[in-house]
Amino acid sequence: MLMQHKATRIYNARILTPDGWIENGSLLIKNGTITQISTSEPNVEDDSVGLEHVDACGGLLLPGFIDIHVHGGGGYDAMLGNVDQIQGMCRFHASNGTTSLLATTLTATHEEIITALECAAQSMKIEREPDGANLLGVHLEGPFLNAARCGAQNPADLREPSIEEFDAFWSASQGTIKLMTIAPELNHAEEVIRHAVHKGVVISLGHTDADFETMQRATEWGASQVTHLFNGMKPLHHREPGAAGGSLMLDQLAVEVICDGIHVHPSLIKWAFDIKPEGKVLLITDSMCAAGCPDGEYVLGKLPVIMKQGKVYLKQEDGTEGGLAGSSLTMIEALANAVKFTGMDVADLVPALTIHPATQIGVHDSKGTIELGKDADLIIVNEHFKVLQTFVQGHQVYACAD
């Protein structure tokens, strides 16, 4: 990104650091990175000329959220093969606390996926001052999924894993595929998983009818994640733990959770936090284009959907509501819901939206926590979980108008 660097000091903030809260803290940003974190009130007279001051008004200063599974939002769709669509969804999600994201694809024809991947790669190369969330790469969700658990993925375009097709996707993305969802029980899944892992792609098991033993084997092949826990997978059974049981019991697997209280019961969300090891619960949105938009009819891929009271459903041929089809969730809502559902402290939950996904996709050295030398990807939030300001690499990309 092309940026005109300027220095900014954020003060009068409760700053969340890996070591805990800093009360009445201030933070200095230079050249897009965090250069100073102070526990005292800044002396404005000592600051250099041209330094911009931002009063956090006692709000929470948090690391920006990293959404590794998001299809769209604000009316924008990552699959439309248009840079403006990508940038639009990045601006929308920045207004809800997301400072980095992976544009997530859907099952479609080979040509449609290629176009979406080329668009994402093109968007990442454009040199500009940040005006929304930073696009870190692509989450390839589909087409290597099981029709028995396809959910809102178009069954007509599902197909078996192929190294040749994966390589075509990899080339179109210019090596920006960071994460891939795949059903491990499909023919040739092992070869494709091992091949993708060798290229540095994180493998997430999802839209799968795999049994427990197959989930175990997939971890040996290199899988390290599960896509939207409990959704699009074989459920837990006391005689066959299935994909859901494997997701929970295999400690090496991080699990994505759609924390809207619709896709997963609140008590099960609490349970996931209780039983998974530290760092292995990742809050995502799985939001589609209708997030932030009025209720009505939309399209997810080629499938018509209906959004009512924020719930997104497939539209059946008779016009009635079918299964869930993505979400209208935002990351700040996910955090607020997680606090409500689990009773955990904000400080203990924020890592599930920040450093844990950053670690999962390998960007934890520069993102995910408020520490010296890291990117100044920050949000200011009030006590009601309202995003007041968002900063991406030190640039204010959103400010609440109220």
Annotated binding site for Zn(2+): 141, 207, 228
222, with CB counted inside 10 A (0-12, 13-18, 19+), is middle
Please answer whether residues 376 and 73 qualify as being in contact, where contact means their C-beta atoms are separated by less than 8 angstroms. Answer: no
pLDDT tier at 333 (50, 70, 90 boundaries)?
very high
Q: Please give the positions annotated as active site.
A: 286
For residue 232 the two structure tokens come to: 């699009």
Average pLDDT on 184-199 reads 98
CA angle 93, 267, 341 (to 5 degrees): 45
Residue 4 pLDDT greater than 60, yes or no: no
Amino acid at 321: E
Crossing angle, helix 266-275 and helix 331-342, to 10 degrees?
Answer: 80
pLDDT value, residue 316: 87
Q: For the segment 18-53, what is each residue's pLDDT rounded down to a tens digit?
A: 999 999 999 999 999 999 999 866 665 555 667 999
Please report, rounded to a whole number, the percentage of residues in the chain having pLDDT higher than 90. 92
Residue 1 pLDDT greater than 50, yes or no: no
- Rg for the chain, CA atoms, rounded: 21
Crossing angle, helix 242-249 and helix 212-221, to 10 degrees?
Answer: 50
Mean per-residue pLDDT of the chain: 95
pLDDT value, residue 29: 97
Average pLDDT on 234-242 reads 95
CA distances from 42 to 32, 254, 341, 393, 399 (A): 19, 40, 37, 21, 22
Please answer whether residues 247 and 215 qualify as being in contact, where contact means their C-beta atoms are separated by less than 8 angstroms. Answer: yes
Annotated binding site: 141, 152, 207, 228, 231-232, 239, 263, 324-326
For residue 32 the two structure tokens come to: 């897009």
Q: Does domain 65-360 have CATH number 3.20.20.140?
A: yes
* DSSP-derived pairing of the beta strands 395-399 and 387-392: antiparallel
Architecture of domain 8-62+369-399: Roll (2.30)
Average pLDDT on 380-398 reads 97
Spatial distance between the Cα atoms of 304 and 298, rounded to a whole number of angstroms: 6
Point out which residues pair with 9 in neighbouring strands: 28, 53
Annotated binding site for substrate: 152, 231-232, 239, 263, 324-326
Residue 144 pLDDT greater than 80, yes or no: yes
Average pLDDT on 344-351 reads 98
For residue 384 the two structure tokens come to: 């009601």
**Biggest alpha carbon–alpha carbon distance for the chain:** 69
pLDDT value, residue 402: 77
CA distances from 350 to 260, 269, 346, 376, 391 (A): 16, 15, 6, 16, 17
Please answer whether residues 277 and 251 qualify as being in contact, where contact means their C-beta atoms are separated by less than 8 angstroms. Answer: yes
Domain ranges of the chain: 8-62+369-399, 65-360
pLDDT value, residue 322: 87
pLDDT value, residue 219: 98
Q: For the segment 147-175, what is each residue's pLDDT rounded down to a tens digit?
A: 999 999 999 999 999 999 999 999 999 99
